[in-house]
Amino acid sequence: MLSRLRERAEKLTTPVAEKVAKVGISPDSLTFLGLVTGTISALLFAQGNHALGAVFLLLCGGLDAIDGAVARISGQVTRFGGVLDSTVDRYVDFFVIAGIVWGGPPEILGLSGWVWGFLALSGSLLVSYVRARAEAAGADRLDVGVAERGERLLILAFGGLIGLIGYALVIVAALSHITVIHRLAVAKRRLA
């Protein structure tokens, strides 16, 4: 969903990316810095410091938003850079949700926070997997669905900021699996 706003977002991220590129920071360095900030976010969530965890999660998302732009601006776009970025994104997704679960989210709708965490994690990983697998099979760009990575990060960050991280986890769990089903339906239609 946010991918449709990418053109507008680029107007905001491009000036930042240009300044970062002029300083000489490589896109891969930004990707690793995103991993560091994502890991710090996970540790803060695990300690129950949801608001600060959310701030670091937003910082991580910001770094993820500009690393590709820095690569394009500085002429450092590589296929490996894309693979590295996607891999680090999956690690961050895992660490953050694991940190939230470790911190002990409440029981919601009769299910423990651990169950919601596993549902959110599996959905988050499958959203990315279905896209990668379908695109590799020839389904073209499959950036459809209501819970792409940007949306999931924003939901978790917002939940952390307002003190409702457990409910944010439930929303991510539900929307990510809806997105998986949506992507499978679109892939089936495109690959028929």
- Which tens digit of pLDDT belongs to each residue from 103-112? 999 899 999 9
CA distance 57 to 44: 10
CA distance 177 to 192: 22
Question: What's the pTM value of the predicted model, to 2 decimals?
Answer: 0.91
Q: Which amino acid is at 127?
A: V
CA distance 121 to 97: 6
- Average pLDDT value for residue range 132-142: 94
User: pLDDT grade, residue 100 (50/70/90)?
Assistant: very high
Is 89 designated active site?
Answer: yes
Contact 149, 93 (CB under 8 A): yes
**Active-site residue, from 64, 89, 140, 143:** 89
Fold topology of 2-191: Four Helix Bundle (Hemerythrin (Met), subunit A) (1.20.120)
Contact 18, 73 (CB under 8 A): yes
Strand, helix or coil at 137?
coil
Which pLDDT score, from 0 to 100, does residue 60 have?
96
What is the rounded average pLDDT for all residues in the chain?
92
- Which tens digit of pLDDT belongs to each residue from 55-83? 999 999 999 989 888 888 888 889 999 99
